[in-house]
Amino acid sequence: MYQIKNISVRLAHHPDLAKAIAHKFSIEISDFKITKVTRRSIDSRKKNNVWLIYTVEAKFIGKVPQHADVQEIKPKKAKIIKLTEINEINPLIIGCGPSALFAGLALVENGFKPIFIEQGERIKQRDEKVNNLWLHNNLDEDSNVQFGEGGAGAYSDGKLTARNRDEFSSKVFDYLIKFGAEDKISYEALPHLGTDGIKYVTTHIIEYLEKKGCEFRWNHKLTDVKKVKGKLHLTINDIEIAPEIALLGIGNGARELFANMHENGVALEAKAFAIGFRIEHKQDFINKLFYGDKTDTNVTGPATYRLTAKAGEHGVYSFCMCPGGSVICASSETNKIVTNGMSFMNRAGQYGNSAIVATVEPKHFGEHPLAGIQLQREIEARCYNQFYNAPAQLGKDFLRNKVSAKLNPSSYRPGLYAGNFNELFPKYVVQALKTGLKHFNKRYKGFVDNGMLIGPETRTSSPVRIVRDHTTCESTNTKGLYPMGEGAGYAGGIISSAVDGFRVASRFRLKEQSQTIKEK
């Protein structure tokens, strides 16, 4: 079997890949057979001359072309993982986001029936709480855009960005397809499900896990993690227990729990993250700016972009672009503003938005494990005005340090007020963001002049790491505690969190003896 890369074809719903391959290598269509499409990306480097680029797997019947884009696929060596044997058939998983759910799937594969502890609610109740915030300015601190069934990704664009495709990420994609995602997520370079797709898949995963004997305890909050005589103790809804192990998939917003763990001596450390705002445009403008006005977006989908710049010691980059989506209020603490992006599977909205953020490191905000959270909180509180309205500023006014006299229409609810990000962010962040935006505006004329900034975007990734052993994934100083996903600081995004959860949980096996006892 061979991998054939860099097959360029003109935009079409069903391009003739065999013809393109035959042409590229000057061979006959009968000389090979395509067995699988493994990647499809969009090459939009030239406006109005946008191409699709494919990678496929194929068998050759005749001579194999000698070309760098044709490579034999060699079987990968299986990795040997040292397993951890435990007695408990019902291990605890804290959280119900991607890391927790995929840890659950891995445990079920190995005969466990985990119990999930989640402070938030099921999607239906959560939808009501989220609408209550967006329409009536009422926030529930335990059940909101970030907390509840499906975790932080439930109200997202559902971008399924994977850094690489290894054994575990392939498994995650296979499961997503098994539970309702379209096959094309396995080969699209930038696959996405939308908030509707993510919720659909999540509900089916939970149904499956319940059928396999798992239990979900909603409205259950872990408030205390400590060691008592070397043993792990947890307090959940005021009841203290001593589980053999707990897999901690708490996301990056579990601030009270981070503080509790720090106080109780669980090893934590500050880590780099990024701060900025979202920039919103009309999606038509983005389509023209990045793809040109002659590109058929029925084939490509609405245009998306990724921008990067260097601003001294800070990286500035676009992040989590939501074509045809909305900027949403994603607050999880009272009287603090957090924004993020969301879209539906069809990405049919009239706006497009993306985060524009600057990296910040402990050397900027402090080495104390909770210093990053402190910085996030200060910014989120400073940005709060009233009714969860978000500060907004035209891109060009931000560069001129001027409050905008008039704001653009926007997708953001509950509403906007004219603010000045020059005064809302630390000076070093303002400076870095300005450098980045000027760079982007030069490269893509009108990007800043036509954009409106809405913020703050402070939850790009976790500002804390729960330090764990590289091999066993157990906390380095709290036996039985297995941090995973974004909150652990070892992942960022839906796929990498899911992969991390799956990887951490895959190593557990029931002790032979306990299996025998159970069978008897």
Ligand X SMILES: Cc1cc2nc3c(=O)[nH]c(=O)nc-3n(C[C@H](O)[C@H](O)[C@H](O)COP(=O)(O)OP(=O)(O)OC[C@H]3O[C@@H](n4cnc5c(N)ncnc54)[C@H](O)[C@@H]3O)c2cc1C
Distance CA 488, CA 478 (A): 14
Q: Which is nearer to ligand X, 491 or 510 (CB)?
A: 491
Name which of 254, 276, 301 is nearest 159 in CA terms. 301
Residue among 290, 497, 499, 506 that touches ligand X (CB under 6 A): 497
Q: Which is nearer to ligand X, 397 or 486 (CB)?
A: 486
Instruction: State the nearest-atom distance from the C-beta of 513 to ligand X, in Å.
Output: 31
Residue among 139, 201, 234, 320 that touches ligand X (CB under 6 A): 320
Distance CA 476, CA 465 (A): 12
Q: Does 304 bind ligand X (CB under 6 A)?
A: no
Q: Does 191 bind ligand X (CB under 6 A)?
A: no
The span from the first CA to the last CA of the chain, in angstroms, equals 47
The three-point CA angle 428-433-434 to 5° equals: 100
Q: Which is nearer to ligand X, 253 or 436 (CB)?
A: 253
Residue among 96, 172, 383, 424 that touches ligand X (CB under 6 A): 96
Structure tokens at 178: 């098994």
Q: Does 489 bind ligand X (CB under 6 A)?
A: no
Q: Does 106 bind ligand X (CB under 6 A)?
A: no
Residue among 91, 104, 251, 302 that touches ligand X (CB under 6 A): 251
Distance CA 276, CA 459 (A): 10
Stretch of residues binding ligand X (CB under 6 A), selected from 3-11, 153-161, 377-385, 397-405: 153-161
User: What is the size of the binding site for ligand X (CB under 6 A)?
Assistant: 45
Distance CA 87, CA 513 (A): 8
Q: What is the full DSSP assignment across 16-66?
A: -HHHHHHHHHT--GGGEEEEEEEEEEEE-SSTT--EEEEEEEEEESSPPP-
Q: Does 99 bind ligand X (CB under 6 A)?
A: yes
- Tell me phi and psi for residue 407, to 5 degrees: -95, 160
Instruction: State the nearest-atom distance from the C-beta of 156 to ligand X, in Å.
Output: 3
Structure tokens at 207: 């149904």
Distance CA 298, CA 13 (A): 8
Distance CA 52, CA 40 (A): 7
Residue among 158, 349, 419, 436 that touches ligand X (CB under 6 A): 158
Q: Does 324 bind ligand X (CB under 6 A)?
A: no
DSSP 149: T
Q: Which is nearer to ligand X, 27 or 190 (CB)?
A: 190
Stretch of residues binding ligand X (CB under 6 A), selected from 174-182, 246-254, 302-310, 425-433: 246-254
Distance CA 119, CA 218 (A): 6
Residue among 44, 55, 156, 441 that touches ligand X (CB under 6 A): 156
Residue among 245, 247, 330, 464 that touches ligand X (CB under 6 A): 330
Distance CA 20, CA 26 (A): 10
Residue among 352, 419, 463, 493 that touches ligand X (CB under 6 A): 493
Q: Does 494 bind ligand X (CB under 6 A)?
A: yes
- CB of 362 within 8 A of CB of 271? yes
> What HEC string does 483-512 produce?
ECHHHHCCCCCHHHHHHHHHHHHHCEEECH
Q: Which is nearer to ligand X, 55 or 156 (CB)?
A: 156
Residue among 120, 323, 325, 451 that touches ligand X (CB under 6 A): 120
Q: Does 117 bind ligand X (CB under 6 A)?
A: yes
Q: Does 157 bind ligand X (CB under 6 A)?
A: yes
Q: Which is nearer to ligand X, 156 or 389 (CB)?
A: 156
Stretch of residues binding ligand X (CB under 6 A), selected from 80-88, 92-100, 178-186, 202-210: 92-100
Residues that bind ligand X (CB under 6 A): 94-100, 117-120, 145-148, 151-153, 155-159, 161, 221-222, 249-251, 254, 257, 320, 328, 330, 340-342, 485-487, 492-495, 497
